[in-house]
């Protein structure tokens, strides 16, 4: 199309030169107007084509129902899922802690009773115990054995509760896997978006990007995840101790 | 020995509390943030502070700095128990005057070791 337009331009320019040489100013003016009109109309054609392309691109972007579903439903949904993971892990931790806190006094009381019984048994073995005391100890022994049976029953049911509290791992694992697959999909779409509008994105203000990155860095790093940006971090308590002792601790 | 345990997660406070109890410390109070901890420390006659770093309205590092700059609290032993393990942060805590630094996740043995070491140094 452009070459067809150029041919018309060339033809008209030749006529224009000819008219000017022959001194036909009026005719030349008219030709100049025609050339200008032609030039503008071809510019408008190009602009029109660009606008159409842009419109189509925008429409196809909007028409990608998947992207709007990700933004409108899946991401909020993922947030809910992750909140539920926090809740489940917290519940499991609390269930376990309840059992442990309930078990400590049972262990303490059984072990102190057992120590008392052992002392009595040792004295009995060394024949240091009279008949009256022996009868007392024998009664205590009966109570102690009952307490052991009851205490062990309590501990066992507690251990069972701890066991059951671990079921969060299976469920949270499944939920997190779903979120990971959503994140991958978002990543893919973002990569496509960057590809479509790549030039515009890379032209962003580098200073702004730098500031944003600095802001991210100033946030606390939190727990180190193995293999994920762990530069400048220690990986265990020994390294913390080494670092502190190098500082004179 | 009166100890204040500061962490925004209640489960972590419970874990630390139970470990301390197992080590024979029974007089333990809790706070969920530096902001609530500081007034407790100023009025509560505490002998020891165990604090997390990352908390909502007042970070553990700021609590440590506030303790060191308060005449009545400046000598209070402070043990930091935190998931923050960047070298810069550990150095910052050391410079702010922390007495011990434990990274999460940690074991009962680590907690005992660090406590023993701090008491040794205080008594020595």
Band (pLDDT 50/70/90 cuts) for residue A65 is confident
Q: A232 to chain B: which residues are within 8 Å by CB?
A: 86-88
Chain A, 193-232: which have a CB under 8 Å from a chain B CB? 220-224, 232
Of A145, A32, A161, A140, nearest in space to A96 by CA: A161
Residue A121: closest CA among A104, A91, A145: A145
Low-confidence ranges of chain B (pLDDT < 50): none
pLDDT at A194 over 80: no
Q: Which two tokens stand for residue A20?
A: 């000017």
> What pLDDT shows up at residue A61?
64
Coil/strand/helix, residue B106: coil
Supply the ipTM of this predicted assembly.
Answer: 0.86
- The neighbour count for residue B83, using CB atoms within 10 Å, is 16
In the prediction, which pLDDT does A68 show? Answer: 78
Nearest to B59 by CA among B122, B19, B6: B6
Tell me the C-alpha distance between B58 and B67, whole Å: 13
**Contact list, A223 vs chain B (CB under 8 Å):** 83, 85, 104
Q: Assess whether pLDDT exceeds 70 at residue A203.
A: no
pLDDT band at A55 (very low <50, low <70, confident <90, very high): confident
Q: Per the CB < 8 Å rule, is A243 touching B90?
A: yes
Please write the tens of the pLDDT for every residue from A204-218.
677 888 888 877 777
> Around Cβ A81, how many Cβ atoms within 10 Å?
17
Average pLDDT, stretch A39-67? 76
Q: Is the pLDDT at A67 greater than 60, yes or no?
A: yes
Determine the pLDDT at residue A229: 67
Q: How far is it, in rounded angstroms, from Cα A179 to Cα A198? A: 27
Q: Give pTM, 2 decimals.
A: 0.70
Residue A202 above 70 pLDDT?
A: no
**CA-based nearest distance B85→chain A, Å:** 5
Residues of B in contact with A93 (CB under 8 A): 11
Over range A48-54, report the average pLDDT. 83
């Amino acid at each position: 199309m452009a070459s067809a337009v150029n041919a018309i331009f060339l033809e008209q320019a030749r006529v224009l030169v000819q008219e000017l040489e022959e001194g036909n100013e009026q005719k030349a003016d008219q030709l100049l107007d025609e050339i200008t009109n032609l030039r503008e109309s071809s510019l408008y054609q190009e602009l029109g084509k660009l606008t159409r392309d842009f419109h189509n691109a925008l429409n196809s972007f909007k028409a990608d129902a998947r992207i709007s579903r990700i933004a409108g439903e899946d991401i909020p949904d993922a947030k809910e899922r992750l909140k539920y993971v926090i809740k489940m892990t917290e519940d499991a931790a609390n269930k376990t802690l309840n059992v442990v806190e309930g078990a400590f006094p049972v262990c303490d009381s059984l072990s102190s009773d057992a120590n008392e019984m052992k002392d009595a048994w040792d004295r009995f073995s060394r024949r240091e115990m009279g008949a009256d005391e022996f009868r007392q100890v024998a009664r205590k022994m009966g109570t102690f054995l009952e307490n052991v049976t009851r205490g062990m029953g309590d501990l066992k049911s507690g251990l069972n509760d701890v066991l059951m509290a671990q079921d969060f791992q299976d469920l949270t694992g499944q939920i997190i896997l779903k979120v990971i697959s959503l994140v991958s999909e978002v990543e893919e779409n973002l990569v496509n978006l960057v590809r479509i509008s790549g030039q515009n994105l890379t032209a962003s203000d580098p200073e702004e990007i730098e500031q944003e990155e600095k802001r991210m860095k100033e946030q606390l790093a939190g727990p180190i995840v193995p293999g994920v940006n762990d530069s400048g971090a220690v990986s265990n308590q020994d390294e913390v101790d080494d670092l502190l002792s190098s500082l004179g601790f | 020995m009166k100890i204040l345990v500061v962490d925004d997660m209640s489960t972590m406070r419970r874990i630390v509390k139970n470990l301390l109890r197992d080590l024979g410390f029974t007089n333990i109070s809790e706070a969920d943030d530096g902001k609530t901890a500081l007034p407790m420390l100023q009025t509560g006659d505490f002998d020891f502070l165990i604090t997390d770093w990352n908390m909502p309205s007042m970070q553990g590092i700021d609590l440590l700095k506030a303790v060191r700059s308060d005449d009545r609290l400046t000598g209070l032993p402070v043990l930091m128990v935190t998931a923050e393990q960047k070298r810069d942060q550990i150095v910052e805590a050391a410079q702010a005057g922390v007495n011990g630094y434990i990274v999460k996740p940690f074991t009962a043995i680590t907690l005992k070791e660090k406590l023993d070491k701090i008491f040794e140094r205080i008594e020595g």
